[in-house]
Structure 1
Amino acid sequence: MSTYVRRIVDDELDDLFEHIAAIAIDGPKAVGKTTTAEERVDGLLKLDSKTNREAMQADPELLLRRVRPLLVDEWQKVPEVWDVVRRAVDADPTGGQFLLTGSASPAEGATAHSGAGRIGRLRMRPMTLTERGVTTPTVSTRELLTGRRPPLDGLCSLSLVDYVEEIVRSGYPGMRHLSARALRFQLDSYLRNAVDRDVPETGITVRKPDAMLAWLRAYAAATSSTASYSNLLDAATPGQSDKPSRSTSIAYRDALTQVWLVDPVPAWTPSGHPLSRLAQTPKHHLADPALAARLLGLSVDALLDGDGKPLGPQAGSMLGRLFESLATLCVRVVAQAADAAVGHLRTRNGDHDIDLVVVRDDGKVLAVEVKLATTVADQDTKHLRWLADRLGDSLLDAIVIYTGPNAYRRRDGIGVVPLGSIGA
């Protein structure tokens, strides 16, 4: 009897796979891509198996003899299979034939064609609070994106301590059951393997793995901020006069993004709106806030005690930064399911900052502020009101995500929603 627990991305696959011949599910290792994909296929080709890999390297066309729907797992280990699937879809575009899962993007030029128009791309991230089974959502992101501004209600039982425990616990399915010590060990191993093995497997040479890990630690300290890459290098190499170049910092970022470990939120660049002088720098996030907490050596108790020194221009504690990162993860997953993109807004002088901007295809937006607080005051909504004055009808709705128990609307119409209440 199957013990598979559905993920939010399953709803997307329900809608898409019967119509799309091939879909690549992208995301970091251990996020659950293979387990989810296996629920939908009859054939399985695992390319992390040396026997399978050698056969496919010798003749990639062999995969066409396998039963379909076919899952090609860790396809990036034999990038030539991408082009085989693409040509197969050209010949027969019938939906539901191939799923490809990969925990890294192959080196540039490894595939002859991007797959655009033939192979769809679907991002899978670590589990949201709902997927972890610790809460039941009462507020629909899809409904918020309609612009009807529905009444909000519902009670969330999660406390601040619960949120902090979920930050540290991680949204990687295979780590959820581990003891505290085993979890720390696995997160440390995950990070070390990413630098020592996963990045080099993409074709990128890592001459100084410890330097990359130090940069990653500085990146973790800059979570939920727009700290410059020069500041990241300074934080990664304190006291060193001969620092790596800015290009090295960018190379680290690109390499870690390629294995889906770094997952920045891009700056929102609206078109046709009366907004100017917006910053273009992405907000820094790792794939899972538990990775950031572990890189910084922050336990539940340490976070609750206010330990940790954040890096970057935005104010706030490390706990506040990591709570925002957890909220960002949850919002991105449900926004994707609602066919919306996620960015952030910050003016160049930093006087206005919207944590998350969820954007529909037509450019209209849901604005989201994240507050580490159990109550929401007028001061907490000032940036949302500023944006509402400028966007008018293009602002579908505005909410504050917080740690309090109740979902409701303020008298000014702005929604107040516990993080645990946010659903698809």
Structure 2
Amino acid sequence: MQLVPRHVMPRVGEALDNFRVVVLHGARQCGKSTLARMVAAERDGTYASLDDDATRQAALADPRSFLLDQDHPLVVDEIQLGGDRVVRAVKQAVDVDSTPGRFLLTGSTNFLTVPSISESLAGRVRLLHLWPLSQAELNRSAPFRVQAWFGDESDTLHASARPAAMTRRDYMESVCRGGYPEASTLPDELRRDWFESYVETVTERDIVALGDLRRRAALGLLLRWVAASSGSELNVAGTASRLGLDRATIGSYLAWMETVFLVHLLPSWSRNLTARAVRRPKVHITDTGLAAGLMGLDASALMVPTSPAAGPLLETFVVNEIARSLSASSAAPRLHHYRDHQQHEIDLVLERSDGAVVAVEIKATTSPNVSQLRHVEWLRDRIDAAAPGAFRAGILLHTGDQRYTVGDRLHICPISTMWA
């Protein structure tokens, strides 16, 4: 497979220039090892993977010598396999010598939530997240700059290059292809087999090993439910009843799926504009290709007008694209969804630390209309009354080719605008 340049690479370099330790974590098979090897080669360092039995045993037997007796930066791949013993040795090494960029650690589990690692390296580490490939990376396009959505000029969204023409089927094929580098190059039937094997490997090798879980079969059942429910609010009690599992098991297993980057939660947004905002997060599967594979769907199935999965999977696809772009950007707006008891619903609300807000609706239609922005318009007016100037843009992303402004700070754009 041809090497795909990763947009997060400059951030990794910047972090190594300024922090003693850099941790790059993300799902298995998303490209961490390839990127880590590139960093080691470019900086004349050393690459070592704890996936290798001999390397892992050497690190566990004498972690101090393993860490210090090699050329730096030392890249330690799959650091979670070294547990607390190796991570504590990293802490001791950088406390003695605070030179930036001595260690790049990668992991297929969330570094901060692995129970076998109690040392967080707080004050010494820069954490970076590597997602599967974005559409911009797959298309060799420049990174999407979400900052443009927060621009002060009314024509900011229309000043960049025109997006490449894509049909609705093109989008559905992108949804089903996903972003795992190896899987994205396979034909549909082989890709489905790849995802089945991937899930079995991650659940058996990572989740069960780390969590010592007793109901392994429930993991696959729950993950398939997440795939079918991606983009919906998380109702633990309802899910437990539907799947025949207890609430504690659902909560615990979902947390483990987050730890190994199979799913992520989108919290509910509120600035006290309404007293009864719903607090449930939305659950999104990390890669729509994985979701489609688990559901046995291809682009043709999603093209059927009555397909119940097309809209939710497209919403997850766009949410994931934005999250992937933010992981490679210095801009860091927080991502949320919104729903209240008056039935106002907005797929995505981005909020910067200065309080600036962008609201996004995602529709699987090729014929968007301004009425689909009515909840965004309502939110704009509420924010304008409470914090004038904070609402920056409301955007309807769709699968057609229309691109225009439809009202005060309200815009309609093709989804492909994000990788123009």
Aligned partner of 1:78 in structure 2 is 82
Q: Distance in 1 between matches of 2:394 and 2:142?
A: 18
1:269 Cα offset (Å): 4.1
| Higher mean C-alpha deviation, range 408-417 or range 388-397 | 408-417
Q: Distance in 2 between matches of 1:407 and 1:123?
A: 32
Q: Distance in 1 between matches of 2:164 and 2:275?
A: 38
- Whether 1:121 aligns to 2:112 is no
What letter corresponds to residue 132 of structure 1 in structure 2? L
What letter corresponds to residue 94 of structure 1 in structure 2? T
Judged with a 3 Å threshold, the aligned counterparts in structure 2 of structure 1 residues 183 and 69 are, in CA distance, closer, same or farther, namely same
Do 2:163 and 2:419's aligned partners in 1 also have CA atoms closer than 8 Å? no
Judged with a 3 Å threshold, the aligned counterparts in structure 2 of structure 1 residues 350 and 252 are, in CA distance, closer, same or farther, namely farther
Report SS of the residue matched to 2:191. Answer: helix
- Whether 1:400 aligns to 2:396 is yes
- Whether 1:212 aligns to 2:211 is no
Report SS of the residue matched to 2:283. Answer: coil
Judged with a 3 Å threshold, the aligned counterparts in structure 2 of structure 1 residues 258 and 140 are, in CA distance, closer, same or farther, namely closer
Identical-residue share of aligned pairs (%): 29
Aligned partner of 1:262 in structure 2 is 263
Judged with a 3 Å threshold, the aligned counterparts in structure 2 of structure 1 residues 417 and 81 are, in CA distance, closer, same or farther, namely farther
Q: Distance in 2 between matches of 1:307 and 1:264?
A: 27
1:5 Cα offset (Å): 2.3
Do 1:74 and 1:100's aligned partners in 2 also have CA atoms closer than 8 Å? yes
Q: Distance in 2 between matches of 1:421 and 1:347?
A: 26
| Higher mean C-alpha deviation, range 410-419 or range 248-257 | 410-419
Aligned partner of 1:355 in structure 2 is 347
Judged with a 3 Å threshold, the aligned counterparts in structure 2 of structure 1 residues 56 and 350 are, in CA distance, closer, same or farther, namely farther
Aligned partner of 1:193 in structure 2 is 201
- Scaled by the length of structure 2, what TM-score is found? 0.90
1:174 Cα offset (Å): 1.4
Do 1:358 and 1:367's aligned partners in 2 also have CA atoms closer than 8 Å? yes
1:151 Cα offset (Å): 4.5
1:297 Cα offset (Å): 1.4
Judged with a 3 Å threshold, the aligned counterparts in structure 2 of structure 1 residues 350 and 211 are, in CA distance, closer, same or farther, namely farther
What letter corresponds to residue 260 of structure 1 in structure 2? F
Judged with a 3 Å threshold, the aligned counterparts in structure 2 of structure 1 residues 200 and 151 are, in CA distance, closer, same or farther, namely closer
What is the aligned counterpart of 1:152 among 155, 158, 164? Answer: 158
Q: Distance in 2 between matches of 1:85 and 1:363?
A: 38
Judged with a 3 Å threshold, the aligned counterparts in structure 2 of structure 1 residues 14 and 108 are, in CA distance, closer, same or farther, namely closer
Q: Distance in 2 between matches of 1:303 and 1:55?
A: 50
Do 2:80 and 2:114's aligned partners in 1 also have CA atoms closer than 8 Å? no
Judged with a 3 Å threshold, the aligned counterparts in structure 2 of structure 1 residues 397 and 12 are, in CA distance, closer, same or farther, namely farther
What is the aligned counterpart of 1:225 among 201, 221, 232? Answer: 232
Runs of 4+ residues deviating >4 angstroms: 106-109, 136-139
What is the aligned counterpart of 1:69 among 70, 73, 91? Answer: 73
Report SS of the residue matched to 1:376. Answer: coil
What letter corresponds to residue 24 of structure 2 in structure 1? I
Judged with a 3 Å threshold, the aligned counterparts in structure 2 of structure 1 residues 24 and 304 are, in CA distance, closer, same or farther, namely same
Aligned partner of 1:314 in structure 2 is none
Aligned partner of 1:374 in structure 2 is 366
What letter corresponds to residue 357 of structure 1 in structure 2? V
Aligned partner of 1:99 in structure 2 is 104
Judged with a 3 Å threshold, the aligned counterparts in structure 2 of structure 1 residues 170 and 193 are, in CA distance, closer, same or farther, namely same
Unaligned runs of 5+ in 2: none
What letter corresponds to residue 217 of structure 1 in structure 2? R
Report SS of the residue matched to 2:266. Answer: coil
What letter corresponds to residue 185 of structure 2 in structure 1? H
Q: Distance in 2 between matches of 1:145 and 1:91?
A: 43
Aligned partner of 2:146 in structure 1 is 141
Report SS of the residue matched to 1:344. Answer: strand
Q: Distance in 2 between matches of 1:338 and 1:375?
A: 34
Report SS of the residue matched to 1:375. Answer: coil
Unaligned runs of 5+ in 1: 238-242, 309-316
Aligned partner of 1:252 in structure 2 is 253
1:290 Cα offset (Å): 1.3
Per-residue deviation, residues 47-82 of structure 1 (Å, max 9, x unmatched): 000001111111111222221112110000012222
The structure in which a higher percent of residues are helix is 2
Do 1:21 and 1:98's aligned partners in 2 also have CA atoms closer than 8 Å? yes
- Scaled by the length of structure 1, what TM-score is found? 0.89
Judged with a 3 Å threshold, the aligned counterparts in structure 2 of structure 1 residues 254 and 192 are, in CA distance, closer, same or farther, namely same
Do 1:128 and 1:171's aligned partners in 2 also have CA atoms closer than 8 Å? yes
Aligned partner of 2:178 in structure 1 is 170
Aligned partner of 1:412 in structure 2 is 408
- Whether 1:389 aligns to 2:393 is no
Aligned partner of 1:131 in structure 2 is 137
Judged with a 3 Å threshold, the aligned counterparts in structure 2 of structure 1 residues 21 and 349 are, in CA distance, closer, same or farther, namely same
Aligned partner of 1:48 in structure 2 is 51
Alpha carbon RMSD of aligned pairs, Å?
2.3
1:274 Cα offset (Å): 3.3
Report SS of the residue matched to 1:422. Answer: helix
Report SS of the residue matched to 2:164. Answer: coil
Do 1:156 and 1:405's aligned partners in 2 also have CA atoms closer than 8 Å? no
